Amino acid sequence: MDPLSHHVTHDFSPIFRVHNTGNIERLVKHDFLPPSKHPDTGVLSKDVVVSQQNGVTARIYLPPTQGPDTKLPLIIYVHGGAFSVESAFSSQYHNYVNYLAVESGSVVVSVEYRLAPEHPIPACYDDCWDATKWVESHSTTVGQGEDPWITDHVDFKRVFVAGDSAGANIAHEIVVRAGAESELGIEFIGLILIHPYFGIGNVEHLWNFICPEPTGPNDSRLNPSAHKNLLSNLRCERVLVCVAEKDSLKERGAKYHEALESSDWNGVVEFFETEGEGHVFHLLNPNSDKAPQLMKRMVEFINK
């Protein structure tokens, strides 16, 4: 091919670029860490397949327990990355979820979903729903799961869903789908949204590219604030919305909080803002002075 004819057709810097050859150039790089026993926390981790059909996997984190009969909360965690980058298996997320597991005393299932644009929306939502159904298969209601880390250690009356950025968006959709799934065998106590990526009614060029369906800027998955009827049916008791003062997405999280608070939903929504910090600062700089404050607020929410 003539080098001069090789060009970028879609530029979503600093996330990814698409070339006319079809090549996806991801601008956010990450490593991969294997599951392990974490040297600082003592948390054990392992990888499991949650959907044979789509090859969806997850990493389970088991904190040190007081014995084989100890029952712990469970967190379904969804990583961020604009639906397009990052991994549950990167060092950034692996290390963070280790600390989340030990600080909150929870089993965590961190989902490795398929990424856009190679796998357009709704693949990420479907994969995380498959992971939710896999967790459900271990509950006393269904009782078909075979992973002892789940069956032996999880209190299915204390199940949470959490995520950051685009992962918070997906986490929210899990709870929305749960509200429409009357036969789901688990109940969610809480939803934790960390610096959520939602729409606010404006055109979102990235969303339009990775979601080929012509849904518009008020798609209920992108902009749930525009659909108070769906918010009213959220299947959880409590929601924690976390934002950061210098985050360009702060307004979106605040708008979601206001919409949920003014809806007919019967739960309790809480709001927490970190001053002087930007988007997912706790992941980019886990040693920052404010990172422990955010972790403490989440742990309080889980163990309330």
- Which of the four pLDDT bands, split at 50, 70 and 90, describes residue 185? confident
Would you say residue 54 has pLDDT above 60?
yes
CB-CB neighbours of 181 under 10 Å: 14
Enzyme catalytic residues: 165, 247, 279
Q: Say if residues 71 and 262 touch (Cβ distance below 8 Å).
A: no
Q: Cis check for the bond before 120: say yes or no (omega within 30 of 0).
A: no
CATH no. for 31-303: 3.40.50.1820
Q: Provide the pLDDT for residue 76.
A: 98
203 pLDDT band, cuts 50/70/90, is confident
Q: Using an 8 Å Cβ cutoff, are 301 and 192 in contact?
A: yes
What's the CA gap between 129 and 171, in Å, rounded? 9
Number of other CB atoms surrounding residue 9 within 10 Å? 10
Cβ neighbours of 300 (radius 10 Å): 13
Specify the pLDDT at position 255: 97
At 258-267, the pLDDT tens digits run 999 999 999 9
> What gap in Å lies between CA 51 and CA 177, rounded to an integer?
18
| 74 pLDDT above the threshold of 60 | yes
* pLDDT greater than 50 at residue 179: yes
Which residues of the chain form CATH 3.40.50.1820? 31-303
Distance CA 111, CA 128 (A): 7
List, for residues 205-259, the tens digit of each pLDDT value: 999 999 988 777 889 999 999 998 889 989 999 999 999 999 999 999 999 999 9
Residue 3 pLDDT level (bands cut at 50, 70, 90): low
pLDDT of residue 5: 66
- Which residue in this structure is represented by tokens 């059909």? 53
Q: How many CB atoms lie within 10 A of CB 43?
A: 21
Question: What confidence tier does 120 reach under pLDDT thresholds 50, 70, 90?
Answer: very high
Question: 43 vs 65, which has greater pLDDT?
Answer: 43
Return d(Cα 113, Cα 127) in angstroms, integer: 6
- The span from the CA of 88 to the CA of 96, in Å, is 10
Predicted confidence at residue 143, as pLDDT, reads 61
What tens digit of pLDDT does each residue of 151-166 get? 989 999 999 999 999 9
Smallest Cα–Cα separation from 56: which of 76, 31, 72? 76
Q: Which residue has the higher pLDDT, 229 or 97?
A: 97
- Tell me the per-residue pLDDT of 127-151, one tens digit each, with 9 for 90 and over: 999 999 999 999 866 666 789 999 9
Contact 92, 59 (CB under 8 A): no
Which residue, among 209, 301, 295, 193, has the nearest Cα to 252 in the 3D structure? 193
Share of the chain above pLDDT 90, in %: 81
Burial class (CB in 10 A: 0-12, 13-18, 19+), 156: buried
CA–CA distances in Å: residue 244 to residues 24, 191, 204, 271, 291: 30, 18, 21, 11, 11
Read off the pLDDT of each residue in 82-86 and give the average, rounded to a whole number: 96
Task: Round to whole Å and give the CA distance between 227 and 30.
Answer: 35
Residue 1 is predicted with a pLDDT of 46
> What single letter denotes the amino acid at residue 175?
V
Question: DSSP E strands: which ranges in 102-143?
Answer: 107-112
pLDDT at 262: 95
* Mean pLDDT for the stretch of residues 76-82: 97
Cα 181–105–277 angle (5° rounding)? 85
